[in-house]
Amino acid sequence: MSVELMARLKALKLHGMAQCWPELMAKARHSDLPPEAWMNEVAGGRIGGA
């Protein structure tokens, strides 16, 4: 994850998303999830990590 993106997520107080982002990106690279399904994964990680 880029340092800039990590800083933006933290500035937005999205610490849980910043923490799970590497895992989400790894899943996205190894699957053919459509954008809506991928965003559901992101939202689920954010809600679950909060």
pLDDT the model gives residue 43:
75
- Give Cα 18 to chain centroid, integer Å: 6
Q: What is the pLDDT of residues 14-46, one digit of tens each?
A: 888 888 878 877 877 887 877 777 777 777 754
Please give the structure tokens belonging to residue 4.
């800039």
What range defines the domain where residue 36 resides? 3-49
Q: How many domains does the chain have?
A: 1
pLDDT the model gives residue 47:
45
23 Cβ contact partners less than 8 Å away, ≥ 6 residues apart: 45
Please give the structure tokens belonging to residue 1.
């994850």
Q: Is residue 1 pLDDT above 80, yes or no?
A: no
Whole-model pTM: value is: 0.54
